[in-house]
Structure 1
Amino acid sequence: MTTTTSPPPPARTTYGAVLGSPYVARLLGGTLIGRLPNGMAPVAIVLLVTTDGGTLALGGLLSALYGLMSALSQPVKGRLMDRHGQTRISGPAAVLNSAALLALPAIHSTGSATLSATVVILGGLSAPPLEAGLRALWPSVLPDPVRRHTALALDTGTQGLLYIAGPLLVAALTTAHNPALALVVTAALGLTGTALVLTAPPSRTWKPASRGQSTTSDRLFSTGLVLLFVALAGVGVAIGAMNVWSVAMAERHHTDPLAGLLPAAFSTGSFLGGLLYGQRTWPGTPTRQLLTGAGGFLLGWLPLLTLPGPHPATALIAVPGAFLTLIVARAFTTTDTLAPPARTTEAYAWLLLSIGVGQAAGAALAGRLADHPHTLAALPAAGATLALTALLLAHPGHVRAHCGRHQRQDAAAGTAR
């Protein structure tokens, strides 16, 4: 008689154990504080312009410039970090970014839109690449793959909170005082968070893998990685379109709070999904989990095609949000597998840029379709369809070809890279 043994249950850990690991809470908290300007500065810039009598068009343009320059410069800063370390890149970047935000009220008061745009561009270009840097630190800070999985899920799931807390803090400071103070607080938070990260020993001693030590090609853009970035651009399209759809919903139902409530519900779903995902190591390969997440993300958008009312829409929008953390977390681990060891931070930066470009494209396209409710409601699902299609086209062989390097990294984790 033959007996069969059931597979071992998925490994588990607790958030307390992860946050209690050396430097984890400091690095995660510092990165979140240092990245608050990403959610605060664009709103503060608009309020600075409009409060001073400027047009909403100018405020929106300056705000968009800040976000666009920050996104486009990420790969360059990531590559520099891979070559020169985190302290020598993120430190000066944070100082320049804060200086630009502090100078903007005085520059804007001169009435020169060109000078204001120049300062905003400088601020965006110098936004420190804290998110990509944190992802590069996790293998050395958390050698245990189970704890690293939980930390990455927690890290990814909390990102949406930045875009809830940041605008709310700016609104409160502007209402109580003025937008200039909001920019001062934004600059101070950016410096404080960056300092917390860069003065931690894992960041100060971090070094990327030497090009000479790599046994694989240093070519970054393999077919698998390109398709992954295309998929994440599709995710960004869905998110960008959702933001515009939320404004259209608020106008259609004459309920102004919906414009903020719907994105907040989406981010809340992402946060709760991240907490659930990070509690255990789920069965299936990373590729299978990525496809599952993309499939759930697509299905979550389909109810919007029925043009639900405000209350159902608020509940439904949390569903695709719940799958977002799974997609992004597994996208980072897949990027780590596919990218050459000497260019991991740069690869992470390209991943973030892909999402940002997709968001901008989704928002722009949704703006053109705002007068067509059914088409606008279908746009997030179209972005999710692009994401799933790109992942299905990515041959699993692209991942397997690099698994040897990834496994060696896990075995060697615990030493400074």
Structure 2
Amino acid sequence: MAYRGLAGTRMAVWSCVVATSRLPVAMAPLAFVFLDREVTGGYTRGAMMAAAYTAAEAVGAPLLGARLRSRPFRREIAVGLGVSSVFLAAVALVPAAPAPVAVALAAVAGAAGAAAPGALRSMVADLVPAKDLNSALSWESSLNMAVWAAAPALVATVASGWSATVPFLVAAVAALAGAAGVCLLPEKTGRPEPAGRRRGTAGPLASAWRIYLTSAAAMYLLATVELALPALLEQRDRPLAYSGPLLTGFALAGILGGLLYGLRTWPGGPERHSVLLLYATVAVTSAMAAAPSVGTLGALLLLAGLCQAVVLVARNLSLQRALPTSLHPVGYSLQYAGSGIGYGISASATGFLLAHVPPSTTVLIAAGVTLALTTAALPGRTHRRRDRTTRPGTGARVGEPGGRRS
């Protein structure tokens, strides 16, 4: 069984930390939209807070990720998530704060925990045998998709049933739980080389630029789908509460797509898969702008989720193969930053466009931008770097897909 090697107490704790640390990130965009709708009756302020949150993540991820080369992983993750928890709670306590203050609170909440995803992804190499590393990365991707599946429904249900401030309290508790859980994990032991041996890292990191750009393109489109969906429903005279179940279906389809992708080794390689399926996602998203009914819109979202799942898993596998192990923490943080940049720019653009053009036009513009970014990543190939260490009993190098991936 593909996941048999992942069974164990440490992996269970790690999985809980991944889920709780990612839940605030998954909840935040839609939560900001509902908060703005409740406080001001509009969407623009919420989109700007979402943009500040994700843009701050983009800045914080590489800066805090670089700190991990010389500092303990557990302490850095715990402190970051703790600070994020405090500022998420502050958003709930002062929902009608002036716009500059609200945007600042969102930005600090996003930046503080930005190193956690890359750090946790790097830590998993110490928790499982080398032969199960690809399975662990695929499991992490599926776990993230599961969190994104639960978060929209959670936000929509809680915000509609109680108050738009409650999702931020839930997110604060989740971040605090992640900070506590990481202290139960062993410290990262695969320490990078000493400072005197850190030369030559810029070149390998820069060689993976196509992966970072593809990540930005994927998240640019995802941000528009999330933030414009309530307005798209309103354009069709449908309740805003439908956005929660629709986005949950999108994420559930992503989980299924990720599992299907891991059933076998597909020809072409993960980098090519991420580009091709991103093109497919663009095509499906474009069709959403003209969807005549909620049922058609839901079906297109399911198909987009299947395609998006392959993009998410394949880009992680691509980066794993492209960089040496010592650069994985920084590389994953740069990838996360690329995703945050794409999401943040899209959130700002979506907020602006929704105030000036119909939601359907906003979706089409986002699809066109994603198409251009994906095409820009086509020339050439990312240079691959593999560790020389071989997996016990397989003869395959660590970081290479071997056999069935999941």
Under TM normalisation by the shorter chain, which class is it? 0.7 to 0.9
Report what 1:65 is aligned to.
Answer: 52
Q: Match of 1:10? A: none
Give the distance between the partners of 1:150 and 1:186, measured in 2 at CA. Answer: 28
Cα distance in 1, alignment partners of residues 231 and 169 from structure 2: 32
1:253 has 2:236 as partner: yes
Q: Which has the larger radius of gyration?
A: 1
CA distance in 2, matches of 1:59, 1:381: 22
2:183 to 184, 191, 198: 198
Q: Judging changes above 3 Å, is the alpha-carbon distance between structure 1 residues 61 and 246 closer, same or farther for their aligned structure 2 residues?
A: closer
CA RMSD of aligned residues (A): 3.7
Question: Mean Cα displacement is larger for which, 70-79 or 168-177?
Answer: 168-177
Whether the 8 Å contact between 2:289 and 2:363 is mirrored in structure 1 is yes
- Residue 192 of structure 2 aligns to a residue whose secondary structure is coil
Tell me the amino acid that sits aligned with residue 309 of structure 1: S
- Cα distance in 2 between the residues matched to 1:246 and 1:184: 24
Task: Give how far 1:136 is off.
Answer: 0.8
Q: State the shift of 1:32 in Å.
A: 0.5
Match for residue 217 of structure 1? 200
Take 2:389 and 2:374, find their aligned partners in 1: how far apart are those partners?
24
Flag structure 2 segments of 5+ consecutive residues without an equivalent.
Answer: 400-406
Specify which of 216, 221, 233 is matched with residue 238 of structure 1: 221
User: Structure 2 vs 1, CA of residues 380 and 74 (structure 1 numbering), >3 Å: closer, same or farther?
Assistant: same
Aligned to 2:368: 382
| 2:314 partner SS | helix
Tell me the equivalent position of 1:81. Answer: 68
Q: Contact (CA 8 Å) 2:205, 2:331: kept in 1 or not?
A: no
CA distance in 2, matches of 1:329, 1:303: 24
CA–CA distance in structure 1, aligned partners of residues 283 and 64 of structure 2: 36
Cα deviation digits, residues 173-198 of structure 1 (max 9, x gap): 55665555544432222121232233
Q: Within 5 A, what are the aligned runs for 1:96-135?
A: 96-106=83-93, 116-127=102-113, 129-135=115-121
- CA separation of 1:377 and 1:282: change in aligned 2, threshold 3 A: same
- Cα gap change, 1:262 to 1:130, in 2 (>3 Å): same
TM-score, normalised via structure 1 length:
0.78
Change (3 A) 1:412 1:140: farther
Q: In structure 1, give the amino acid aligned to 2:252.
A: T
Residue from 126, 151, 163 that aligns with 1:166: 151
Report the number of matched residues: 393
Q: Is 1:312 matched with 2:296?
A: yes
- Give the percent of matched residue pairs that are identical in Structure 1 and Structure 2: 21
Partner of 2:404: none
Q: Name which of 266, 288, 293 aligns with 2:250.
A: 266
CA contact (8 A) 1:228 1:390 kept: no
TM-fit CA distance, 1:381: 3.9
1:38 maps onto 2:22 in alignment:
no
Distance 1:385 1:405, change over 3 A: farther
Query: 1:55 and 1:386, CA in 2 relative to 1: closer, same or farther beyond 3 A?
Result: closer
- List gaps (5 residues or longer) in structure 1: 1-12
Which letter does structure 1 place at the counterpart of 2:200? Answer: S
**Is 1:149 aligned to residue 152 of structure 2?**
no
Partner of 1:140: 126
> For residues 141 and 55 of structure 2, what CA distance do their matches in structure 1 show?
21
Q: Secondary structure at the match of 2:378?
A: helix
